[in-house]
A and B are shown apart, each in its own frame.
Chain A
Amino acid sequence: MESYDLIVVGAGPGGSVAAMTAAELGMKALMLERANYPGEKNASGFALSSKGERDFPFLKEVEFPSMRIGRRTQAHFLSPPPEMEERFSMVTATSRRISYPEGRDYFVKTMYRPELDRYLAERAVRKGAELRLKTLVTGMVWEAGKVCGVRTEGGEEYRAPVVIGADGVMSMTARMAGLREKFGRDEVVSLCTVDYAVPKERADAVIHENCFQTYFAPGFGGLYLIVMADGVHVGGPGVTNSLVSRAVRKRINPAKEVLQMINCPPIQRQLTALDARPREWQAHMLPWMDQFNRRIYTGGFMLVGDAAGVPEPLWAEGVWQAMYSGRLAAETAHEALQEGDTSASSMQRYCDRLEQSPVGQEFIAGVQLRQLFEMLGDPVIFDEATDLLVDLSNNMLWNCQEPKAVSINRLFPILFENLPLLMGMLRVYAPILLETGGDSLRKRIEMIKGVAAMVAQMTGGEVEA
């Protein structure tokens, strides 16, 4: 039996950051990973958002062979099957209003996870943590109602006053610690991805920095097309069809839907232009919860990353969240050890801090954000929303079919007809605005009232301010 200050189960981004933080704080940390190398079991999280470099500055110096910078993102809206052609698409650069320089520079950097995971695990080891590979944890050691170690399939026992479970969506440690048997059908999506090999010069020429693209079609959950330096991921479906409860109810097989949608002409053209060759098939689950999960700690034990259900509710981004939660958990463990208190109430501080942190804040109005996808998951509403975008752009700007005056006069009726849809969008965004920007929103409304009174005076009308 060996003793440590901290045991981390799982050497993904959350686990490795937890271990490296602990080592940096002078703790004796052990990481246990079931795979042959870190990243071997991951099938998701191919992009790290600029939040990564903001909060973990050491990442700025990292260059992985597969890395590509995503300064643009593109959404494609397709027509219903069987045609499934482009109807509307938009490329977006980063907003100049984003609050930190890395965020203004780029959205994400794409990369293959084995490269990222190995780097993070090696960094944890360099900082002094110990890493054991091919080691499956099969049990917890308990003492006085608190977790105080783990047992492996080989019968070894490792002891530590705090254990961190970083073992992914299918967390066995969460189960062994009595936090949950498993995530519910409404909390998890089942996704598939095809990876294609792509010549780097093709990807540079065709994609350049527009490496994060999404495709939506009526009735489909949507696909993402992610381009690394020399590879492409095409995967999905989106939450409307991949949430396990909905997939089962709608009798949707995620693999079948992904392969069917890959056949749509716009994706086929992209893959052809990229000279893409199928290389690997992947299937995995992700927690995709609309509310912050608080069942992530007990005496001597904390969950981080996917095991804690941290991916945010709109796009299920989770790598940065995993790293952030890993660091918070290790810091809490360090404090707990200093105070000599590893009870559940001591571990609760981690949960409270995570909920107050940007990771937890992502869940503000998560339920409403999810409604965006619910709305667009309806084939009729999706087609109407695409109509609105197409109608506005065709009639406002790009009309070469009719006199401009005719088409411009259509704009008001178009907006009026689409009021229900616009109100539906407002229903999603209003609660977020009110919850997060209540005061400034009210001030702006007062301002508008003032301006309205002024305009009324100028034009001789009367308006009650």
Chain B
Amino acid sequence: MSRKEEHGEKLDKFALSEIVPAPSDFILFDAEKCTGCSGCVIICPMDLWKMREGRARLEADYREKCMECGSCFIACESGAIDFTYPPGGSGVVYKFA
């Protein structure tokens, strides 16, 4: 891989993040309330939301990838997404923030 790719667009964000998977769900999604606005799909920095049949869907393995930024919760205006923090001691680990 070229230096440029390593630094920028080809950078593997998943390989560069450390996450202790939460033992329980901390994002709750109510598909009934989803209006399909795709705000969560656009904003998620880890691409954990996908559109399926006009509604958003959260990746099943999100607890291993989510950085707890909460952008999806803010972007959602239909009340379909609820966000709480993962239990104490789990979730994203930043050493160089």
7 pairs of A and B residues whose beta carbons are closest in the complex: A263-B8, A134-B89, A281-B16, A255-B45, A283-B45, A134-B88, A262-B8
Contacts of A279 in B (CB 8 A): 16, 96
Contacts of A183 in B (CB 8 A): 74
Q: Is the CB of A263 within 8 A of B9?
A: yes
- Separation of A33 and B27 alpha carbons in the complex (Å): 20
Q: Given the known A-B contacts A255-B46, A278-B11, are A169 and B93 also in contact in the complex, defined by CB atoms under 8 Å?
A: no
Between A and B, 15 residue pairs with Cβ closer than 8 Å are: A40-B95, A41-B92, A43-B67, A44-B97, A46-B97, A133-B89, A136-B85, A194-B11, A253-B42, A255-B13, A262-B11, A268-B4, A280-B18, A282-B97, A285-B74
Of the candidates A138, A152, A192, the one whose C-beta lies within 8 Å of that of B45 is A192
Is A16 interfacial (CB 8 A cutoff)?
no
- Separation of A193 and B94 alpha carbons in the complex (Å): 11
Of the candidates A41, A255, A263, the one whose C-beta lies within 8 Å of that of B4 is A263
Is A190 interfacial (CB 8 A cutoff)?
yes
Q: Is the CB of A244 within 8 A of B88?
A: no
Q: Is the CB of B43 within 8 A of A248?
A: yes
What is the minimal beta-carbon distance from B45 to any residue of chain A, in angstroms? 4
Q: Is the CB of A153 within 8 A of B43?
A: no
What is the minimal beta-carbon distance from B43 to any residue of chain A, in angstroms? 6
Is A309 interfacial (CB 8 A cutoff)?
no
Q: Is the CB of B45 within 8 A of A254?
A: yes
Is A128 interfacial (CB 8 A cutoff)?
no
- Separation of A278 and B70 alpha carbons in the complex (Å): 24
Is B68 interfacial (CB 8 A cutoff)?
yes
Contacts of A278 in B (CB 8 A): 6-7, 11, 16
Q: Is the CB of B42 within 8 A of A169?
A: no
Contacts of A285 in B (CB 8 A): 69-71, 74
Return the CB mask of B29-53 against A: 1 if under 8 Å, else 0: 0000000010100111111000000
Main secondary structure, interface of B, reads loop
Contacts of A184 in B (CB 8 A): 74
- Tell me the B51-87 residues at the A interface (CB within 8 Å): 67-71, 73-75, 77, 83-87
Is A251 interfacial (CB 8 A cutoff)?
yes
What is the minimal beta-carbon distance from A81 to any residue of chain B, in angstroms? 13
Of the candidates A136, A194, A268, the one whose C-beta lies within 8 Å of that of B16 is A194
Closest to A261 in B: B8
Interface size class of A (residues with CB under 8 A): 35 or more
Q: Is the CB of A40 within 8 A of B87?
A: no
Contacts of A112 in B (CB 8 A): 95-97
Closest to A248 in B: B39
Chain B residue total in the interface (Cβ 8 A) = 43
B interface residues with partner A (beta carbon < 8 Å): 3-4, 6-9, 11, 13-14, 16-18, 37, 39, 42-47, 67-71, 73-75, 77, 83-89, 91-97
Q: Given the known A-B contacts A46-B97, A262-B8, are A185 and B77 also in contact in the complex, defined by CB atoms under 8 Å?
A: yes
- Separation of A246 and B79 alpha carbons in the complex (Å): 19
- Separation of A231 and B94 alpha carbons in the complex (Å): 14
Q: Is the CB of B88 within 8 A of A153?
A: yes
Closest to A252 in B: B42
Q: Is the CB of A36 within 8 A of B89?
A: yes
Return the CB mask of A247-288 against B: 1 if under 8 Å, else 0: 110011111000110110000100110001011111111000
Contacts of A87 in B (CB 8 A): none
Is A34 interfacial (CB 8 A cutoff)?
yes
Of the candidates B18, B47, B87, B94, the one whose C-beta lies within 8 Å of that of A43 is B94
Closest to A132 in B: B88
Q: Is the CB of A136 within 8 A of B87?
A: yes
Q: Is the CB of A231 within 8 A of B8?
A: no
- Separation of A35 and B68 alpha carbons in the complex (Å): 12
What is the minimal beta-carbon distance from A141 to any residue of chain B, in angstroms? 18
Q: Given the known A-B contacts A172-B85, A244-B75, A279-B16, are A42 and B45 also in contact in the complex, defined by CB atoms under 8 Å?
A: no
Of the candidates B73, B84, B93, B97, the one whose C-beta lies within 8 Å of that of A195 is B97
Return the CB mask of A22-42 against B: 1 if under 8 Å, else 0: 000000000000111001111
Q: Given the known A-B contacts A136-B85, A280-B17, are A182 and B73 also in contact in the complex, defined by CB atoms under 8 Å?
A: yes
Q: Is the CB of A41 within 8 A of B91?
A: yes
Is A80 interfacial (CB 8 A cutoff)?
no
Of the candidates A44, A244, A276, A281, the one whose C-beta lies within 8 Å of that of B7 is A276
Contacts of B77 in A (CB 8 A): 185
Of the candidates A41, A169, A255, A260, the one whose C-beta lies within 8 Å of that of B94 is A41
Of the candidates B8, B39, B68, B74, the one whose C-beta lies within 8 Å of that of A268 is B8
Q: Is the CB of A280 within 8 A of B7?
A: no
- Tell me the A288-324 residues at the B interface (CB within 8 Å): none
What is the minimal beta-carbon distance from A464 to any residue of chain B, in angstroms? 56
What is the minimal beta-carbon distance from B95 to any residue of chain A, in angstroms? 6
